[in-house]
Amino acid sequence: MVTASFINRLSHAVDLIEQRSQQNRPLKVVTVRCGFGEDRNKARDRHYAAHPEDRDANIVIFDFCDDEEMAGESQDCYASAEPLRGEP
């Protein structure tokens, strides 16, 4: 047998779950273009300088490109990566 107390507790629990689900927002995913030899932190900083609205991203995906692909990019989105000098 179900009592009024049980129904009230169940109703309260459902309300709490509903409030929590409404507070959560979907994850924000950002794609950052990056040269193969470029430092990932510098690429991320460069991207955030050009797109400050992406600073609150939950996930950052790096899109690795060679120099030919990056040659067409504007300077605010890509700063030339330093060439690898004898690094293994």
User: Left if phi > 0, otherwise alpha if psi is -120 to 50, otherwise beta: which for 20?
Assistant: alpha
pTM > 0.85: yes or no: no
Domain that holds residue 39: 27-81
What's the token pair of residue 25?
A: 């927002």
Secondary element (H or E) of residue 63:
strand 59-65
Confidence of residue 84 (pLDDT cuts 50, 70, 90): very low
Any domain includes 86: no
The tokens 């692909």 sit on which residue? 69
CB atoms within 10 A of CB 79: 16
User: How do residues 5-47 score in pLDDT, each as one tens digit?
Assistant: 888 888 888 887 777 766 666 778 999 999 888 899 999 999 9
Any domain includes 40: yes
Confidence of residue 79 (pLDDT cuts 50, 70, 90): very low
Number of domain units in the chain: 1
